[in-house]
Amino acid sequence: MKLTDRVALVTGASRGIGRATALALAQEGATVAVNYRAGKDAANEVVAAIEEAGGRAAAFGADVSVHEEAQALVREVIATFGDLHILVNNAGIAKDNLIYNMDPGDWLEVMKVNFGGTFNCTKSVLDHFMVTRDGVIVNVSSVMGERGWTGESNYAASKGAVDAFTRSSAIELARFGIRVNAVLPGFAPTDLVAELSEGEVAKHMKRQIPMRRFATVEEVAAAIRFLAGPDATYLTGVLLNVDGGGMAGLGLGRLKW
C-alpha cells in the first residue's frame, strides 16, 4: 500500500467528499484523522469503517474557520499519532443566493470556512512540515473557482481564493519539500449541491458535461489520494479538474433563477 506509515488529516471528513477521501487514504494504508465540526456521530462512523477494514483512525472535533481551533486540531493530531504528513483541506459550506438578495453575513461565513479554513490549517501544519521537510497539502476547491455560475458568487469567490492560495503556497513552500495542489471537482452528489443533483435541473446540467454524468465522491477522492501519494512527487501548484470535461464548455448555469 502506497501510504503505509503516513498520517493524514482530512477536514470536514464526516460526510461527502471528505468521508470518501478519509476512506480512500485509509485503503492505501494511511492513518487518518477524521475532522468534523458538528457531525460527531457521522465522523465516528467513518472511524469505525476504517477500523473495521483493519486501518487506524480517530475523530477530532474543530471548527477550522477559527484559527486557534485549527492550531489545536493539528497539535492534537500530532500528539495522538506521533506525526503528520498529509493535510486535505476539504471543509466547506455553501449559502447560495443571487448577489442582490445575499446577506453580507452569508458571504463572509462562506469565505471564512472555505478559504479561511484552508488558510488556517495550512498555516497550522507549517511548523511541523517545514521541520520534517515531508508534507503534502491537497486543497479541495471547485470548478466554480474558475468559472461563473448564477447564485454562486460567494462560493465561487471562496474557491477562487483557494485556487490562488494553492499556487502561491506551492511556490513559497517548495523549498521546504512541501507540495501543495488542489482538486477542482465538478458536480458530485453531496449535501452542498443537493438541489442541483436531481430532477430536471440535474438532467440539464448533465447535458453540459461531455461525459454526461456527475462525478462520484469516490472519483474525487481517488484524485486527492493520487496527489497525496508517491506517484505525484513532482506535482505542485496543480489545479486538477475532476469534472468529466465540464470545464471545456460549461454553460451559463441559468437553472435556479
CA distance 135 to 131: 10
Q: Which of 36, 100, 155, 234 is catalytic?
A: 155
Active site residue 36: no
Residue 181, C-alpha cell as written in the block:
495542489
CA distance 95 to 105: 10
- Is the separation of the CB atoms in 59 and 43 below 8 Å? yes
CB atoms within 10 A of CB 116: 21
- Given its phi and psi angles, is residue 94 left (phi above 0), alpha (psi -120 to 50 degrees) or beta? beta
User: What is the number of H-type helices and E-type strands within the chain?
Assistant: 8, 7
Catalytic residue numbers read 155
